[in-house]
Structure 1
Amino acid sequence: MHEKPFRSIVKTISWRALGTMDTMIISYFITGNLKMAASIGAIELFTKMGLYYFHERAWSKSSFGIVKTTSDYQI
């Protein structure tokens, strides 16, 4: 099985949207400042999106934890 890079891009965007909302909520609780929370979330959005994409592509090249099934039945 092989994942195309576009799949990694879509997964990256959806995961970062969720993660950034979480970061902004936590930042708001810590700082009490909505503008500061949005700033932290905006910076984090781009840096972590890039990191996740390259992390995902590296894992897609790895065979770690993938088991190839073999069939005992042959014709």
Structure 2
Amino acid sequence: MQNTKKISLLKAVSWQTLGIFSTLITTWIVTGSISLAGNLTFAMTSVAFVMYFLHERVWARFTN
């Protein structure tokens, strides 16, 4: 299978989905509250998204 941009995007989406669900399940088990687990998962995913974007921008400065 050729590793195209479309495949890379699909892999990124599937990886992020797996991460979101594993975080949700783990925090639900630890807290015992699905509501709190959902809020924590949303917060963690949001922070991770921003941090990844900033990480990419820093790397772009060094590679361009």
TM-score for both structures, normalised by structure 2: 0.59
User: How many angstroms does 1:54 deviate by?
Assistant: 0.9
Unaligned runs of 5+ in 1: 1-9, 64-75
CA–CA separation in structure 2 for the residues paired with 1:54 and 1:34:
30
Structure showing greater relative contact order (alpha-carbon pairs closer than 8 Å, 6 or more residues apart)? 1
Contact kept in structure 2, 1:16 and 1:48, CA below 8 Å: no
Query: How many residue pairs end up in the alignment?
Result: 53
User: 2:37 aligned with 1:32, yes or no?
Assistant: no
Q: Read off the aligned partner of 1:21 and give its amino acid letter.
A: F
Q: 2:47 aligns to what SS in structure 1?
A: helix
Two-structure CA RMSD over aligned residues (Å): 2.6
CA–CA separation in structure 2 for the residues paired with 1:37 and 1:19:
13
TM-score for both structures, normalised by structure 1: 0.52
Contact kept in structure 2, 1:16 and 1:49, CA below 8 Å: no
Q: Which has the higher helix share?
A: 2
> Closer, same or farther in 2 for the Cα pair 1:39/1:49, shift >3 Å?
same
Q: Read off the aligned partner of 2:51 and give its amino acid letter.
A: L
Give the structure 1 partner of residue 22 of structure 2.
22
Q: Read off the aligned partner of 1:51 and give its amino acid letter.
A: M
Unaligned runs of 5+ in 2: 1-8
Give the structure 1 partner of residue 52 of structure 2.
52
Q: 2:48 aligns to what SS in structure 1?
A: helix
Larger of the two Rg values belongs to structure: 1
